[in-house]
A and B are shown apart, each in its own frame.
Chain A
Amino acid sequence: MMEKQVILKTNHIAKYFYEPVKFKALNDVSFEVFESEFVAMIGKSGCGKSTLLYILSTMDTAYEGELFIAGQKITGQKQDTLAAIRNQNIGFVFQFHYLLPEFSCLKNVMIPALKLGKYSYEEIEEQSYQKLELLGIKDQALKPASKLSGGQQQRVAIARALINSPKIIMCDEPTGNLDSKNTGIVLETFQQLSKEFGQTIITVTHDNDFAAKSDRNIEMEDGEIIDHDKKI
């Protein structure tokens, strides 16, 4: 790797919780993530990695310090602007699949793209089929999301995260409740995305085997980064 492009950067981020008592969840977190990097954030429960991920995701705005995504300063932007940034630049995958249960898998994948409104309905439909095919669940496309197994739902969620070709994909324990076979599929997909499509992946995980296969591990403890490139 020659000149690596910084895609995400934080400056001295600090975060407090006030309930039930004042508690410093993050302390002076500064780090950089590069384009097409597959980063795993590891650490014990309660070390603040999920809290950090929510700040990176632009959904949590109550913090100190600064956040930059693709050179743009995110800190201090209006909620509606942030929503538009999320829509276009960030894809999410959560631990509990979080699909919209009343909609078909296809529709679930399509909705963020329909919101973006860049392509026509037919084009979006076509792209959604492609993403589902990429994840090997094209045959389930028209089933209601609630009828699928956990592993399948998680793959639909990943397809949804990919639909707007975001620069960054953020995951919170994406394999948290998947069996080893499905975990393998998710891992392969992520590696493929970063290598072939140049997308950046930031994932929070407890799974050391999963983390070991990423490009870089950031280890956290008590709200601070203790190792920017931990070797497992």
Chain B
Amino acid sequence: MRLNVDSDIALTHLLTRKKQTMIAALGVTVGIGIFIFMISLVVGFNRYSDEALFKAAPHLRIYKDDMLSQPLIPQSNSGYATVIVNPKITNVSNALINPEKIMADLIKQEDVVTVAPQVSVNLFYNNGTSQINGVASGVNILEANAMFNIQSTMLAGDVRNLVATPNGILIGVGIARKLNIQLHDNINITSSVGVVKVMKVEGIFKTSNSNIDLTKSYVNLAVSQQLLHQSSSFVTDILVNIKDPDKAPEFSKRLQRVTIYKVEDWQAANEQTMSSKKTRAVMFGAISLAILLVAAFGIYNIINMTIKEKLNDIAILKATGFSGKDVINIFIKETLIMGFIGTLFGLLLAAGLIKVVSGIYIGGDREYFPIGFELSIFIAGAIIGMLVTLGAGYIPALNAAKIDPIEIFRK
């Protein structure tokens, strides 16, 4: 197949100026490469921090919030209001009423993936004279593991052992170290209401948060209910995971309308994490856009220079019957070819950078740098790269189309 004449001219221009073509393309390569790399960094890091977050927190938590005292007898006279001076928090119990029904209703919802009951118990871990206070989560361990992936944080033991051992406990590595306790040792716990129990350590976990490692433990739901002197229907929290964690705020709003209990999404519970996430996105976005802009200026400059050098050629083309549209076409094609080459190598550069960085050891529970190949970022990068070069080439091409051949010939 023969190229059409505009493409032929564009290609000849590029091939007779290989060096400049390459420099312009290189600008795009660096711009796109760094852009994709930066965005991948942000996305990778955000995913990592979300993962870390979701190891301790569910997407949604339903619990009974503290309530202020309400008037016992509502005011019947519409002109008056009943005022309680110095109201107090009136919670008798923070138990959810009929949790089985709530959970059964929740799991029927379309977006819901897992629903797990939880009882939080404040307690002391004792070994000899040393004592640490902390919080035990009474859970159905298999559901909790599905939700938090506790198994991935285990240093020793196995979460499934808790199912077979009714008085088993999984403790944080900080507790184990401080109380000098090893796997299969016994540990003495005392709840806030004074119940004492001897538990068998079935697992030791290590999260990315040392404070959690020093306070948290998991026990079976029944044990936690016993620790609080409560019946087997006693549940303080219902934890919900949904398909798309980003949709948690909408889901919680929907849920809040049909329940008297407090529904809290993870974004609301972790405002600081969310704000630092946003800061990161803006910061890296700004830096990579700046780099792209510089690349665009490179393209703009080189096309502009080409046009300045080719004033004669443009005049001849116009004299021999090429219209303004043809001239725009020629220079747009030149930019697109440069942009395409640049973008292509930019994708390779980004892939290379990501490959190198993902091999950097950072320690912690993640071990390697949290960055990965994201097809959507690469596609977005390629599209942005082509658009930016198109814009950078279009402006000078438009000027070239306006060149008056007579002015050139008169000189």
- Digitize B373-400: 1 where CB-to-A-CB distance is under 8 Å, 0 elsewhere: 0000000000000000000000000000
- Identity of the chain A residue whose Cβ is nearest the Cβ of B16 in the assembled complex: A102
A80 touches B324 (CB 8 A): yes
B320 touches A112 (CB 8 A): yes
B165 within 8 A of A: no
B318 CB contact (under 8 Å) in A50, A83, A103: A83
Q: List A contacts of B9 (CB < 8 A).
A: 100, 111
A84 touches B323 (CB 8 A): yes
- Digitize B150-165: 1 where CB-to-A-CB distance is under 8 Å, 0 elsewhere: 0000000000000000
Within 8 A of A (CB), among B5-22: 5, 8-9, 12-13, 16
A116 touches B321 (CB 8 A): yes
Q: List A contacts of B4 (CB < 8 A).
A: 114
- Digitize A15-29: 1 where CB-to-B-CB distance is under 8 Å, 0 elsewhere: 000000000000000
A30 within 8 A of B: no
Q: List A contacts of B312 (CB < 8 A).
A: 98
A111 touches B320 (CB 8 A): yes
A11 to chain B, nearest CB (A): 21
B322 within 8 A of A: yes
B320 CB contact (under 8 Å) in A60, A107, A115, A121: A115
Interchain pairs with CB closer than 8 A, number: 68
B316 within 8 A of A: yes
- Digitize B3-42: 1 where CB-to-A-CB distance is under 8 Å, 0 elsewhere: 0110011001100100000000000000000000000000
Q: List B contacts of A85 (CB < 8 A).
A: 321
Q: For this complex, into which size category does the number of interface residues on chain B fall?
A: 20 to 34
A88 within 8 A of B: yes
Per the bound structure, the CA–CA distance linking A163 and B69 in Å amounts to 98
Instruction: Please judge, given known A-B contacts A98-B316, A102-B12, A114-B5, whether A172 and B409 are in contact too, CB under 8 Å.
Output: yes
Q: List A contacts of B321 (CB < 8 A).
A: 83-88, 112, 115-116, 164
Per the bound structure, the CA–CA distance linking A111 and B326 in Å amounts to 13
Q: List B contacts of A79 (CB < 8 A).
A: 323-324
A103 CB contact (under 8 Å) in B12, B315, B325: B12
- Digitize A138-170: 1 where CB-to-B-CB distance is under 8 Å, 0 elsewhere: 000000000000000000000010001000000
B16 touches A121 (CB 8 A): no
B328 to chain A, nearest CB (A): 12
B101 within 8 A of A: no
Residues of B with Cβ closer than 8 Å to A?
A: 2, 4-5, 8-9, 12-13, 16, 312-313, 315-326, 404-406, 409-410
A-B residue pairs in contact (CB < 8 Å), sample of 11: A54-B409, A59-B319, A59-B404, A87-B320, A94-B409, A98-B316, A100-B316, A102-B13, A107-B12, A111-B317, A115-B5
Nearest 9 interchain pairs by C-beta:
A87-B321, A114-B5, A83-B323, A112-B320, A80-B323, A102-B16, A86-B321, A121-B2, A54-B406
Please give 17 more A-B residue pairs, beta carbons under 8 A apart, in addition to A59-B404, A87-B320, A115-B322: A50-B410, A79-B323, A79-B324, A80-B324, A83-B318, A84-B323, A87-B321, A87-B322, A98-B315, A100-B316, A102-B16, A111-B5, A111-B9, A111-B320, A112-B320, A112-B321, A114-B4
